Amino acid sequence: MDFTFNEDQTAILAAVKEFCDEELAPKAKETDEAEAWPAENVRKMAELDLMGVPVPEEYGGLGMDFLTWSAIGEELSRACSTTGAVYGAHALAVVPIMQFGTDEQKRKHLVPLAKGEHIGAFGLTEPGAGSDAGAVSTKAVRDGDDYVLNGTKIFISNGGEAQTYVIITSTDPSRGARGLTAFIVEKGTPGFQFGRNEKKMAFPSLPNRELIFTDCRVPKANMLGRENGGFLVAMRTLAVGRIGMATGAVGIARAALEAAVPYTHQREQFGKPISTFQAIQFMVADMATEVDCARLLTWRAAWLKDQNKPFEKEAAMAKLFASEVAMRTTTKAVQIFGGYGYTREFPVERYMREAKLFEIVEGTSEIQRMVIANHVLRELNR
């Protein structure tokens, strides 16, 4: 395992950091409080070739690996978590089309996604299906060369703003998870509408919308993977998505640590900077250690993916650990800031609210533990 970045990666990460420090970070509070789609940030990410980092160059991407994709995502989330979340959610459409799309589907749908001309979103969750992906009830019924979709997806990140949606439907309800099929659905398709945008604890500028399908006709040409092979599409997508979520969590945890440390030097109590108190030092030490652990787990999962090795367990570990680290680290950061940390003057209370998302989204911590336990109980039962 080698996480040494080569010259290309180093140059790219330096350029991304500069963009993040100069463009995203100074406006992060504004971006959050606008409660509006961060269109300008997304446009800039597209201009900078950041919307197709892992996509092969022949499909308009940068042709880099998922490790680089993750390292870039951490930088974005560290500077502006909303923008980082858009980047992560976009990948949930990019990844399945990259992995399961035909050449024709890639030319039509992946190229504009990779260039950032289109934004992507992934629709699996329903009121009755989240952790239990097999319980999807959005139906797709074959009718000639089309499939007719009926049903509702909820909480869909980038929903409403995205042009390209990968939707998991049920084509054979009798077979449960083995009766699911993935489709690419474009915004503007008749019968495809957007419902309510959830009001959340944090991330008000990231849309999480309902997608409503009413007799929505989708051509068979938009089927992604095999018919009834949608569970595999969903699981493969979510596995990469978990690396993305771990990445976002590391970014926010790092932002909290990087906000807290300078404050410990500035803030004086009992005539001394609080950085001289062991209670504070131990908190800082734990935060820094955990952020590093979370990043290493995340990079390991990305690296395994890049080596075409199994990475599902490692992605679940990274997602589980990084999201819980984000929660602990941001909570400690608020504690270090004390009363000021509880105010909206400082970003740490926002980080703390944002961190909670990561313990829930794309498989709760409990689901991650189930996934990990399934692997471990099998692997070690020899």
Partner 1 sequence: MNTVVCIKQVPETTEVRVDPKTNALIREGVKSIVNPVDENAVEAALQLRDQHGGKVTVITMGPPQAEEALRHTLAMGADEAILLSDPASRGSDTLATSYALAQMVRKLGAVDLILCGKQAIDGDTGQVGPGLAERLGIPQVTFAIGLEVADGKLRARRVLDDFFEVLEVKMPAVVTVVKQINEPRHPSMRNVLKAKRAEIAKWTLADLEADPKQSGFNGSPTEVIKVWPPEKRGGGRRLEGAADEVVDELAKAIKDMNIAAG
CB nearer to partner 1: pick between 53 and 348: 53
CB nearer to partner 1: pick between 23 and 172: 23
Strands (E), the chain: 120-123, 139-143, 146-157, 164-170, 180-186, 192-197, 208-219, 223-224, 268-269, 272-273
Contact between residue 85 and residue 206 where contact means Cβ atoms under 8 Å apart: yes
180-219: which residues touch partner 1 (CB under 8 A)? Answer: none
Among 2, 7, 104, 145, binds partner 1 (CB under 8 A): 7
- In the complex, what is the shortest distance from the CB of residue 166 to partner 1, in angstroms, rounded to a whole number? 24
Cα 104 versus chain centre, distance: 26
Q: Is 57 a catalytic residue?
A: no
Residue 113 in contact with partner 1, rule: CB under 8 A? no
Element (H, E) at 75: helix 66-79
Nearest residue to 106 via CA among 60, 62, 64, 69: 60
CB nearer to partner 1: pick between 115 and 369: 115
Residue 15 in contact with partner 1, rule: CB under 8 A? yes
- In the complex, what is the shortest distance from the CB of residue 58 to partner 1, in angstroms, rounded to a whole number? 14
State the first-to-last Cα distance of the chain, in angstroms, to the nearest integer: 26
Residue 65 in contact with partner 1, rule: CB under 8 A? no
In the stretch 18-57, what mask flags binding to partner 1 with x, by CB under 8 A? xx--xx--------------------x--xxxx--x----
The per-residue b/e assignment along 198-232, b for 16 or more CB within 10 angstroms, e otherwise, is: beeebbbbbbbbbbbbeebbbeeebbbbebbbbbb
In this structure, the strands spanning 120-123 and 164-170 are parallel
Q: How big is the site for partner 1, counted in residues (CB under 8 A)?
A: 17
In the stretch 258-297, what mask flags binding to partner 1 with x, by CB under 8 A? ----------------------------------------
Residue 16 in contact with partner 1, rule: CB under 8 A? yes
CB nearer to partner 1: pick between 12 and 129: 12
Nearest residue to 323 via CA among 234, 205, 243: 243
- In the complex, what is the shortest distance from the CB of residue 16 to partner 1, in angstroms, rounded to a whole number? 8
- In the complex, what is the shortest distance from the CB of residue 47 to partner 1, in angstroms, rounded to a whole number? 6
Rounded Cα distance between 54 and 179, Å, is 30
Element (H, E) at 124: none
∠ Cα 105 63 224 (to 5°)? 20
In this structure, the strands spanning 180-186 and 223-224 are antiparallel
Q: Which of 7, 354, 362, 366 is catalytic?
A: 362
- In the complex, what is the shortest distance from the CB of residue 76 to partner 1, in angstroms, rounded to a whole number? 13
Rounded Cα distance between 208 and 307, Å, is 33
CB nearer to partner 1: pick between 61 and 130: 61
CB nearer to partner 1: pick between 12 and 246: 12
Among 28, 42, 62, 202, binds partner 1 (CB under 8 A): 62
* Catalytic residue ranges: 362
Name the residues that contact partner 1, by CB under 8 A. Answer: 7-8, 11-12, 15-16, 18-19, 22-23, 44, 47-50, 53, 62
